């Protein structure tokens, strides 16, 4: 098994990254939702897999490299990359398992910001009245242009089995939770 992984390692890693990219493009969550949980859950198991595999197959790997220590440098580089690209798989597991109902984030917008470089994404930070916490949500750039700080905004997600709010990016948003906007001053009091 180790020989096959070593022989096709580059192709397997590219396939792993392609799967991660697929899940990142199709699953939407709150801004960086679940990232800390995935690091907490997977840091030790992935370290054991990467460094255990490297130790167990060190002779075969060192025979293929220019210097014997390159094997360990590659393991040190591979580990954080695996940890980073494992996050979308945690989101996928969270989204594919049966959900635990809906979550609606609703409250006044406290901040608007854009992230990214070449491809920007637009976000708003709202103060959720249900949890009394600030929640960062991805909004379309067209909607972002029309939103103002202080406006009331709401958005609906499913609560996944791991507790991460999630929805499929290209699916219909359920009717009771359609995103709505209005000024806080216009909102009913009480």
Residue-wise pLDDT tens digits, 94-112: 989 888 888 888 999 999 9
Helix H or strand E encompassing 35: helix 35-56
CB 50 within 8 A of CB 79: yes
Alpha-carbon gap, residue 159 to 106, rounded angstroms: 15
Q: Where are the alpha helices (DSSP H) in 97-164?
A: 141-146
What average pLDDT does this structure show over 76-97? 93
Domain ranges of the chain: 2-96, 102-186
46, pLDDT greater than 90? yes
- Fold designation for 102-186: OB fold (Dihydrolipoamide Acetyltransferase, E2P) (2.40.50)
**How long, in residues, is the chain?**
190
85, pLDDT greater than 80? yes
Alpha-carbon gap, residue 112 to 123, rounded angstroms: 6
Q: Return the ∠ at Cα 136 (arms to 40 and 87), rounded to 5°.
A: 30
Q: What percent of the chain has pLDDT over 90?
A: 35
More confident residue, 126 or 4: 126
Rg (CA), the chain: 21
What average pLDDT does this structure show over 65-83? 89
More confident residue, 181 or 21: 21
More confident residue, 170 or 57: 57
Grouping H, G, I as helix, E, B as strand and the rest as coil, residue 34 is: coil
Six-digit token string for 66: 């220019």
């Amino acid at each position: 098994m180790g020989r096959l992984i070593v022989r096709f390692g580059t192709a397997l890693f590219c396939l792993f990254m392609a799967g991660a990219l697929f899940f990142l493009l199709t699953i939407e969550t709150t801004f960086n939702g679940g990232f800390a949980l995935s690091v907490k859950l997977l840091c030790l198991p992935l370290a054991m897999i990467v460094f255990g595999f490297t130790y167990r197959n060190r002779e075969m790997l060192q025979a293929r490299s220019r210097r014997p220590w390159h094997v360990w440098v590659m393991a040190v580089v591979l580990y954080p990359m695996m940890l980073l690209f494992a996050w979308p798989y945690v989101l996928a597991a969270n989204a594919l398992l049966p959900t635990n109902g809906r979550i609606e984030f609703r409250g006044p917008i406290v901040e608007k910001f854009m992230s990214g470089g070449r491809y920007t994404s637009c976000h708003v930070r709202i103060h959720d009245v249900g949890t009394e916490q600030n929640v960062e949500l991805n909004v379309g750039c067209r909607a972002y242009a029309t939103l103002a700080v202080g406006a009331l905004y709401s958005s609906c997600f499913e609560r996944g089995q791991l507790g991460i709010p999630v929805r499929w990016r290209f699916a219909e948003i359920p009717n009771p939770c359609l995103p709505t906007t209005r000024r806080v001053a216009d909102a009913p009091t009480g």
